[in-house]
């Protein structure tokens, strides 16, 4: 049975495994010793600014994660910052890791630039990371997680939220299945996941619209 609960440190190995399998570029994926650092970089980058993270729990094992960042000025988690720096350093020791770093840095800059469309609009939270492992996709678990986080945000007074997605992800989920508004799309100017020059998207919605879908 699937339940939704807060992430624990013991969930991290399962989360790292699903992240690199989904998003590491092909050359890095072929080197699991490097790919694990790629996954650490992605996960710790999101956790360092997180407010709370929920996992979908399948009989005690994390089947997916959703990282939330409520924009209320909460402090950074410096323990994750240190871990992220270690992961970047480890990636940069490998030529394919270094190449991947350069590409994703470019794409992340475009992500940040595109956030202009959010300015002055009071988006109180960001869904910073959302992934299920491949055995648990397409069974309604992601939708259940979305309802769970919408209820959490509503309980914490957040009215509107946003997220980034891109073509290396199942981005149709947000528009087609959750009815979120597409605020912006633009080319990444760099690779993300296994694809070069993907399109990046920003979706947003009212929390209340997501609570009972
Ligand atoms: C995106 C994700 C979290 C959605 O969770 P999920 O549990 O698979 O989604 P649900 O089962 O609730 O799906 C809702 C709908 O999306 C469809 N869907 C979900 N993932 C799909 C996929 N990869 N391909 C095709 N359809 C998919 C489901 O079939 C379902 O359609 P229906 O309502 O018409 O039956 C999950 O698919 C996932 O982890 N994907 C890989 C990582 C990713 O892309 N994350 C988003 C990053 S921004």
Identify the residue whose tokens are 């030529």.
95
Give the closest residue (by CA) to ligand 1 atom 30. Answer: 138
Question: What's residue 208's pLDDT?
Answer: 97
CA of 65 to the centre of ligand 1 (A): 13
Residue 160 pairs in a beta bridge with 206
Question: What's residue 99's pLDDT?
Answer: 87
Confidence of residue 89 (pLDDT cuts 50, 70, 90): very high
Does 176 have pLDDT greater than 90? yes
Return the number of other C-beta atoms located less than 10 Å from residue 46's C-beta: 22
Does 70 have pLDDT greater than 90? yes
Tell whether ligand 1 has an atom less than 6 A from the beta carbon of residue 17.
no
- Please tell me the pTM assigned to this model: 0.94
Question: When comparing pLDDT for 182 and 114, which is higher?
Answer: 182
Which domain covers residue 144, as residue numbers? 2-210
What does the DSSP assignment read for 80-106? HHHHHHHHHHHHHTSHHHHHHHHHHHH
Tell whether ligand 1 has an atom less than 6 A from the beta carbon of residue 141.
yes
Question: What's residue 85's pLDDT?
Answer: 97
Domain count, the chain: 1
Tell whether ligand 1 has an atom less than 6 A from the beta carbon of residue 137.
yes
Which DSSP helix (H) or strand (E) runs through 108? helix 95-114
- Residue 170 CA to residue 182 CA, distance in Å, equals 14
Question: What's residue 6's pLDDT?
Answer: 98
Does 100 have pLDDT greater than 70? yes
CA of 107 to the centre of ligand 1 (A): 23
Grouping H, G, I as helix, E, B as strand and the rest as coil, residue 204 is strand
DSSP letter at 118 equals: G
Q: What is the CATH number of the domain that holds 148?
A: 3.40.630.30
User: pLDDT (tens digit, 9 = 90+) per residue, 128-173?
Assistant: 999 999 999 999 999 999 999 999 999 999 999 999 998 889 999 9
Grouping H, G, I as helix, E, B as strand and the rest as coil, residue 17 is helix
Does 191 have pLDDT greater than 70? no
Give the closest residue (by CA) to ligand 1 atom 21. Answer: 138
Question: When comparing pLDDT for 99 and 37, which is higher?
Answer: 37
User: pLDDT (tens digit, 9 = 90+) per residue, 5-29?
Assistant: 999 999 999 999 999 999 898 899 9
Question: What's residue 194's pLDDT?
Answer: 56
- Residue 88 CA to residue 95 CA, distance in Å, equals 13
Question: What's residue 192's pLDDT?
Answer: 62
- Which of 121, 128, 100, 114 is closest to 195 using CA atoms? 100
């Amino acid at each position: 049975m699937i339940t939704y609960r807060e992430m624990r440190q013991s969930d991290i190995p399962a989360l790292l495994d699903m992240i690199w399998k989904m998003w590491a570029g092909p050359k890095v994926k072929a080197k699991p010793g490097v790919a694990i650092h790629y996954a650490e970089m992605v996960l710790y980058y999101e956790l360092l600014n997180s407010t709370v993270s929920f996992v979908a729990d399948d009989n005690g094992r994390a089947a997916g994660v959703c990282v939330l960042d409520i924009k209320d000025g909460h402090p950074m988690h410096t323990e994750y910052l240190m871990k992220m720096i270690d992961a970047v350093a480890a990636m940069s020791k490998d030529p394919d890791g270094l190449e991947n770093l350069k590409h994703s840095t470019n794409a992340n800059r475009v992500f940040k630039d595109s956030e202009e469309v959010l300015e002055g609009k009071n988006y109180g939270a960001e869904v910073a990371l959302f992934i299920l492992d491949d055995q648990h996709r397409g069974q309604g678990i992601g939708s259940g997680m979305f309802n769970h986080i919408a209820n959490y945000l509503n309980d914490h007074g957040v009215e509107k939220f946003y997220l980034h997605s891109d073509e290396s992800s199942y981005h149709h989920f947000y528009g087609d299945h959750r009815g979120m508004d597409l605020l912006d799309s633009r080319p990444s100017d760099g690779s993300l996941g296994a694809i070069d020059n993907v399109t990046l998207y920003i979706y947003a919605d009212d929390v209340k619209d997501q609570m009972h879908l």
